[in-house]
A and B are shown apart, each in its own frame.
Chain A
Amino acid sequence: MAKLKDLASMEDRLVPGHGMCLGCGIPLIFKIILRATEDPIIIANATGCLEVCTTIFPRTSWNMTWMHSAFENAASTIAGVEAMYKALKMKGRIPQDKKIKFLGVGGDGATYDIGLQALSGTVERGHDIVYICYDNNAYANTGGQRSSATPLGASASTSPAGTQSPGKLQRRKDLTKILVAHNIPYVAQASPGRWKDLYNKAKKAFEIEGPAFLNVLCVCPTEWKYDESQGVRLLQTALDTCVWPLYEVENGKYKINYKPKEKKPVLEWLKPQGRFRHLFKEENTWVLEKFQKQVDEDWEELNKLALY
C-alpha cells in the first residue's frame, strides 16, 4: 500500500487552476485515481463539470493526454482509442512494451442516463478500459437538473419541491448493480472520503485485464446546498448511514469494504443538505420514512450478497 507521502510527491496529472467550485468532490477523486498507476493514462471525458471546468480554451488543467468528444459517448470513445492501441501494437507500429491505461470518465448524467447504452456496449465487448463515474446525483454542469442518480425526495431543477411535490418522486437507479450484471472482472463503489480504499480500487481497476467500473460518490456543495467546508464529513456520513456503501465485486465475488460500527439514521445525511430541506415539513414525513426503508433494505441485500 502506497504511503500518503509517496503519493503526494507524485506529479499531478490534474493540475491546479481549474474552475471547479470551492469544496467540489471531483478534483478530490481524480487526484487520487490518477496516482493509482505509474503508466501513462489516456482519458476520454464526457461533457460535464470536470470537462468544462478543466479545458476552457486556451488553457488546460490536464498534464496528461485527455480527450472530449461528446456527452454520451466517453465509453465508446475510449473503446476506440483502446482498439487502435491494440491494432497498432499487433501491426508493430507501436512498441510491444508500450503500456498505456485507458480511462473513460463521466458524471452520473453521462453514465446513468444518456451514456448508459454506450457504457454497456463497451464493457460487454470486453475492452481493456477503466470507466469511472463521478456521481454527484445531478446534472451539475447545466444547473442541477435531476438524473436517475438523484435520490428520492431531492429537489432538483427538473424535479423541484413545490406545494404539490416533495421533490424527486423516484428512487435512485442502482447503476453499480447494472454493471455487476455485465459479469465484467471488476466493479466497485467508492468514495474520496476513504482515499485509501479509492486508491486501492483504482489500482486494481487499472491492473485488471478487461473492463473495470468504479462508481464514486462525489460531493457537490453547489447543487446539494451545504456548507462547502463540510464535504469530507458529509462523505463519511454517507458511509455511516449506508446511503453509499463501499463494496467491490471481483469476478462475481462481493466484498463490503466498510461497515459502520453503528448504522446511523439517514436523517444525518439528509439534514445538512438544502436539497432535502423540504422533507422536514410535516407533510413529507412519509418520504423520510420511505428513504430510510429503502436504504435499510439495500444494505440488508448487499450484506446477503457478500455472504457468498
Chain B
Amino acid sequence: MSVPNGLRCLLRPSTTTSIPARIVPVTVLAASFSSTSLLGKNPLPPKGKAPPSRVKVLPGGHIRAGKKMQLGKFKKNKQVDRSRPPAPGERKAYRKRVTLSNNNALPVEGLEEMSPQAMVDPEKVGRMLALPNELVDQLRAVEAFKPTQTWNMFRQPSILQRKETRELAEKMQAAAGKGETLKLVISGDRLVGKSMLLLQAVSYAYLNNWIVFHIPEGQELTNASTDYAPIPNTAPTQYSQQAYALRILQFLRKANQKLLLDLKTVFPHPELVQHFPVGTSLLQVANAAKEPDSTWPIFNAVLQELTAEGAGRPPILFSLDGLSFVMKASEYRSPAFELIHSHDLSIVRRFVDLLSGKTKLPSGGAVVAATSRGNSPRNPSMELMIAQQEAKQGLREQPVKEPYNRKYDDRVEAAMRDIEVLRLSSVSRSEARSLMEYWAASGLLRTAVDEKAVSDKWALGGNGNLGEMERATLLTMRY
C-alpha cells in the first residue's frame, strides 16, 4: 500500500477524485488558481514515461484501469537490423560457389593423371585419375563442376574411371575417327553419377582438343530467366537468347582459347558490324562479342565457321545436363502469350537438331545429354523414348505408351527417335574399393578399407550407387 493513496482516504470526497479520466474529460472543477497542491496537480500523467505494467494507477485516485486489449502481445519485439542487406545475387553466389580443393585433406601420392590414352585404356578401369590443372581450368570455365558434388573435400579433383566412362570415351573416339556424330543420352538412377559421367565426357573432349559447347543446366535456357527475342523472318517463329549466347561464347573463349586462335575463318561474314576478312582467327571473331545486344550475329558466325565443311575443323562436343527441361514447353511466352516450345528457342533447336540427326557435324563429334533425377520435370515423352531405346538395347522390356495420356509430345518423340542410351548403373565392388581407398588416402575415411568395409558401404549405398555410398561414408555424422 503506497503512502499517497493511503493519505488520500482522509480527504473530503470530491467528484474529481472518483471519476476516471477516461469517462469524464478531465475538467478541473476547483478554481484553477487553487493553492491546494493535490487538486492543482496536473491530472494527466507525465508524458513520455510509460508505466511498466498494464494495470496502472490513475493520478486521480485508486481506480485502476482494466485490462486493455493489446494487439500482437505475443510477438517478440524483433531487433531492427541495421547492417547492410546482401546485394542482389550475393546470397545465391555464396550458395553456388564451387571449391575444388581442401588444404586439410592429405595429398594422394601416385595418382595417375587423366589423359586421352588413360580414358580409353581398359587397364585403367576402376582406378582414380587426377584431373590435370589445365583441364581443371577449362572445366571450371564451362561450369562443369557442380556445387553439390564433393570436390571441396579433397586436395585435388580426381575422378573414378568407370567402365561406362571408358565405353563412352571409346564411342566418342570412334565417332570422331569416322567423322560421325555420336548422339547419346545418359540415363540412370538418382545419384548414380550421370553428371560426373558427362563431366568425364567433357574432359575427354578437352583432352583431345575438341571444341566444346557445354550447357551446365538445361533449365537455365528454358525457365525464362534470360532475355529472349523473336528472330525475324523465321516461320514458325524462333527465339534468340542473346545473353545466354554471350555466356556460351565466353565459355568457349576461356576454355578453347588455344584452339580458336589456330582456326581461321573461311567465310566473309558481311552481316557482322565489324569487318573480319577471310583468314581471321576465330578467337578474334568470338572476342568481338562484348554485349548481349550485338552477340547474336557473332554467335551464329562462330557456329557457322566451326561447322564449315572441308575446313579442317576439330570435332565438336555439344553437351547438356538436365535434358528434360529442354524437351518440353519452355516458360517463355510468345507475343500471343502462348507458351513457347523449347525447340523453338534457337540455341536449344541447334542442340536438338544435332541430337535427332537432322543436322550433322561435318568433322564429327558428339552430342551428349544427361538426364537428371533430382531436379527434373515429369516428361512422359522423353522417358518413353529413353525406355524404348533401352528396350532396343536389351536393357529392359518394351514400354507401353499410355493410350489416354495427353502429355506426350510429338516433337520430343521425333527428336529422340534415333538416339543411343547409356544406362549408368552401380559400380562394382572393385571400383568401389578403389574409390574408398582414395577416400582413406585423403584422410577422409578413417577406417581400414578391407573387404568388410567395402561390402558394408557398397550395400549401404544401394548396392553400389556412388552418390549414396558417398552420402553413407563422407556426408554422415560418423567418421
- Say if A and B assemble together: no
Chain A residues near B (Cβ < 8 Å):
none
